Amino acid sequence: MKLRLHDTPAECAAATPRLRHTPGLHIQDQSRPYPDRGGELVRVYLTVHLNPAPARGRGATDDRT
């Protein structure tokens, strides 16, 4: 899936390492900062994969619909 970070360059730079350390979230690719139209904000796109949740024990079922 694609995630978009939209904020100041400093905030996007600070958020990316935090997302990299989020359990279950694997960042596959990161774009360069794209300037926002007419402002100081930027957009950074992340391509991420969610790691499957660990089984909750014997007989665990899948809650996805």
Given this model, what pLDDT does residue 55 score? 66
Given this model, what pLDDT does residue 59 score? 58
Mean pLDDT of 46-62: 74
The model's confidence at residue 62, banded by pLDDT at 50, 70 and 90, is: low
Given this model, what pLDDT does residue 34 score? 95
d(CA 40, CA 56): 45
Q: Residue 30: which residues within 8 A CB-CB, separation 6 or more?
A: 16, 44, 45, 46, 47
47 neighbors 27 (Cβ within 8 angstroms): yes
pTM of the model: 0.72
SS3 (DSSP) at 1: coil
Residue 5 has pLDDT above 70, yes or no: yes
Domain limits for position 21: 2-50
Domain assignment present for residue 34? The answer is: yes
d(CA 53, CA 57): 12
24: amino acid identity, one letter? G
Domain count within the chain = 1
